[in-house]
Amino acid sequence: MKDLIIRNCNLGKNEKTNILIKNGIIEDINENIPQIGCSELDAENYFVTSPFIDSHFHMDATLSYGLPRVNKSGTLLEGIQLWGELKPSLTKESIKNRARKLCEWSIARGTLSIRSHVDVSGDNLLAVDALLEIKDEMKDYIDLQLVAFPQDGLLRSDCLNNLIKSLDMGVDVIGGIPHYERTMDDGSESIKILCELAEKRGLLVDMHCDESDDPNSRHIETLTYHTNRLKMHGRVAGSHLTSMHSMDNYYFSKLIGLMIEAEMNVVPNPLINITIQGKHDNYPKRRGMTRVPEQIKAGLNVAFGHDCVMDPWYPLGSHDMLEVAHMALHIAHMTGINEMITCFDAVTTSAAKVLHLDKYGLKKGSYGDIVILQCKDKIEALRLKPNRLYVIKKGNIISSTNPTDYKLNIEGNSEYTNLIF
């Protein structure tokens, strides 16, 4: 932890301010911070924000694209099949090497908190062991929150004991995948078992839920029921919820009330939802992402996840959460000013609520975790997905790069420009 003054910070309000970080904590945000003999950094009136947060990721599978082969259909089910084919050849070192590389990309992109699901279906819990080590090794640079995830179905693969063991090893959150159980009844039973386990242990829940185009896949209804029954309000997240895109408006109007009652967090994954869903459609072809504008209007907390980077499900990505938010606003038709700002918040402040992060944000008493972007405000950040000029963790600069300027030659004259408007 380091003392640092960042001067000429633009917080998106067209006004300059300064930020003082002492012992890794933001001590003051003020126009008139005197010199105190510590290091200083000039933000040059570029936009300053809290770090980006990925609310949903799979770090054990990341950067495994093409192993053992490519997902030709691009479907969720073939991706799960491919992951099953790859698992027998995995080593702890290979998982760690890929995870560390992804963490390096994340830091460069200003993403300093990640909730990663980790597969607990296999008896050796190899991925759990690997990611717990990465979590510890990278703790000074990036915060990892791990979710015990029964990829092959809790009941379908009979892995409850493995999941409990992973929690004993230090995994933070309980996950599930009810729509991948053999029957709807088994899916509902898995939710009951997992929520009761979370309530007993005082843990958060993050459930893959209804990741399909089937309007009759309604496990989110069951999840809200058990959240209310067990009084776990605000501690549960429903991830994906893509079936809502196909539900009729009457049923959705009932469901949204149940979600509000449960204080459910919602975590869509725009890049993968628009890619995987609608695969069985001809035309019209469904977009697949859950009903984000309606959920936000109803008062639910919505945060976006990247989900995948170059793995059996998704061939692209560099773990840029601005790319995720940029895609989301297009899919959801959220191009109004306040709507775009909300999309930026879905990868920052709203995501911090999902992860229950302590001391997050640009305010006194929060950790001195800051990203300086080559732009002027949130909307321009979404438009440009600009350079992360400085990434700061508890007062320490952990990544930096130069501003991008373009040298033009027009009518024999040289001049420089950038894309800031």
Q: What whole-number distance in Å separates Cα of residue 187 and Cα of residue 383?
A: 40
Main-chain dihedrals φ then ψ at residue 251, nearest 5 degrees: -65, -40
| Active-site position among 78, 199, 211, 380 | 211
> What is the dihedral sign for C-alpha 221, 223, 224, 226?
positive
Q: Are 21 and 362 in contact (CB under 8 A)?
A: no
Q: Which residue, among 7, 11, 16, has the nearest Cα to 36 in the 3D structure?
A: 7
CA atoms within 13 A on the CB side of 145: 23
Q: What whole-number distance in Å separates Cα of residue 90 and Cα of residue 266?
A: 32
List of E strands, 142-282: 143-149, 173-176, 204-209, 236-240, 265-267
Q: Ramachandran region of residue 346, left (φ > 0), alpha (ψ -120 to 50) or beta?
A: alpha
What are 367's two structure tokens? 């950790």
Q: What whole-number distance in Å separates Cα of residue 91 and Cα of residue 88?
A: 9
Indicate if 211 belongs to the active site.
yes
Identity of residue 247:
M
Q: Are 45 and 55 in contact (CB under 8 A)?
A: no
**Which residues lie below 8 Å from residue 406, measured CB to CB, with a gap of 6+?**
416, 417, 418
Residues that are catalytic: 211
